[in-house]
Amino acid sequence: MVHVQHLFKQYKNTEKPSVDDLSFSFEKGTIVGLLGPNGAGKTTTISILCGLIRAYAGDVNVLGMNLKSNTEELKYKIGVVPQQIALYPELSCKENLIYYGKLYSLSGKVLTEKIHTLLQQFGLLEHAD
Ligand SMILES: Nc1ncnc2c1ncn2[C@@H]1O[C@H](COP(=O)(O)OP(=O)(O)O)[C@@H](O)[C@H]1O
Ligand SMILES: [Mg+2]
């Protein structure tokens, strides 16, 4: 599902690469942890895999597609839970879900039903508004 070969990333105006010749693969249905000390290059690697950093060397394949030539398509298929909370405190629970659902091109009945299902699943129905 994810194949990374010889990944290399060096930020501008830095003396050494942040990711240097990193290769790994994992298959569908697996849960994988990327471990390493502060500054090891974890965030850089994840940012590349999510299509947020475009300037890198090496080959990244996600779901059988080359990441560089299919970045926009793959972004629809990738979900990220960031380290910092990424909800809008000025929006209600439901409004947050509408916003994120629309980013994934959901609308109408599909969006409404999905939001209802998720609020129910997470015990948040009574806090929707
Ligand atoms: N935007 C940036 N510009 C320059 N150097 C960066 C930038 N982001 C990260 N780095 C450097 O790249 C290395 C890896 O950082 P990072 O990917 O954040 O590691 P981790 O998430 O494992 O702590 C560190 O040396 C960090 O200082
Ligand atoms: Mg990090």
Full 3-state SS string of 22-34: EEEEECCCCCCCC
Q: What is the pLDDT of residue 86?
A: 85
Confidence of residue 79 (pLDDT cuts 50, 70, 90): confident
pTM of the model: 0.85
Q: What is the mean pLDDT of residues 5-19?
A: 98
Ligand 1 pocket, Cβ-based, cut-off 6 angstroms = 11, 14, 18, 36, 38-44
Q: How many Cβ atoms are within 10 Å of 86's Cβ, its own excluded?
A: 10
Q: How many Cβ atoms are within 10 Å of 38's Cβ, its own excluded?
A: 6
Interhelix angle 93-103/108-121, rounded to 10 degrees, is 130
**Spans of all domains in the chain:** 2-75, 93-127
pLDDT at 59 over 90: yes
Q: What is the pLDDT of residue 84?
A: 84
Confidence of residue 102 (pLDDT cuts 50, 70, 90): very high
Closest by CA to 127, choosing from 84, 96, 81, 86, is: 96
Closest residue by Cα to atom 7, ligand 1, is 11
Sign of CA dihedral 48, 52, 56, 57: positive
pLDDT at 49 over 90: yes
Task: Could you please state the CATH topology (level 3) that the domain comprising 2-75 is classified under.
Answer: Rossmann fold (3.40.50)
